[in-house]
């Protein structure tokens, strides 16, 4: 182990001993860990690959996908809770409705229809090459489109496990249409019905993929 001084402290001014003491503290020796390597046909010892010895490093663990989804849900809940008036929350849903990606007319088929909603809702679900679930949705009701848009913002690009772990109860904290009136109860349905449909279609895609992999294994 060699101890090398990085630099010599500057000479002190003749009339300033205090400045000399302060400047001396600024300079410290640096320990270099040097690896000795002997080469057979040489009498010289070479020192290669000097590395600075680091006592410890600390870093935050990476966030899991579940943690990221939970953060998104908290953001969504916080956003709607900040709107005390029901009309303001409905307006926010209408704003989310404008954020939906276009839905192809060719996908408006019975297989993509979501049952149980007052309005007509279409939902298309795919799993991409990165094993993430992708959603597209549309409705003939602007408010229902807002519900769909919130759910897609929450779960689009999530893993199948993430999608299946979300509960309807987690969405009730958004406090949209939960004051018990008949009209409000009809507006609660999209949260449950669209989420259940998203999860069912995700399960079906997983089962189809597993069946395909099993058939491919049998044919090997």
For residue 168, give every residue at least 6 positions away whose Cβ sits within 8 Å of its Cβ, in sequence order, or none.
191, 192, 195, 196
Catalytic residue among 5, 19, 59, 117: 117
Tokens at 202, concatenated: 């995700």
**Could you confirm whether 148 is annotated as catalytic?**
no
User: Which residues are annotated as catalytic?
Assistant: 117
């Amino acid at each position: 182990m060699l101890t090398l001084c990085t630099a010599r402290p500057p000479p002190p001014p003749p009339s300033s001993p205090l400045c000399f003491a302060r400047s001396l503290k600024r300079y410290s020796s640096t320990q270099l860990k040097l690896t000795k390597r002997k080469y057979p046909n040489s009498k010289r010892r070479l020192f290669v690959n000097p590395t600075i010895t680091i006592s410890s490093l600390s870093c935050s663990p990476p966030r899991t996908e579940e943690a990221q989804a939970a953060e998104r849900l908290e953001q969504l809940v916080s956003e709607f809770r900040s709107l005390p008036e029901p009309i303001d929350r409905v307006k926010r849903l209408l704003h989310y409705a404008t954020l939906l990606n276009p839905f192809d007319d060719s996908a408006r088929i019975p297989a993509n229809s979501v049952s149980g909603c007052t309005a007509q809702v279409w939902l298309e679900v795919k799993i991409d090459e990165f094993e993430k679930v992708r959603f597209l949705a549309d409705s003939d009701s602007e408010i229902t489109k807002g519900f769909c848009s919130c759910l897609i913002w929450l779960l689009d690009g999530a893993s199948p496990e993430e999608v299946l772990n979300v509960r309807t109860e987690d969405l009730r904290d958004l406090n949209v249409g939960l004051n018990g009136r008949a009209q409000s109860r009809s507006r609660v349905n999209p949260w449950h019905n669209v989420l259940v449909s998203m999860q069912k279609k995700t399960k079906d895609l997983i089962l189809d993929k597993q069946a395909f992999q099993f058939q491919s294994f049998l044919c090997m």
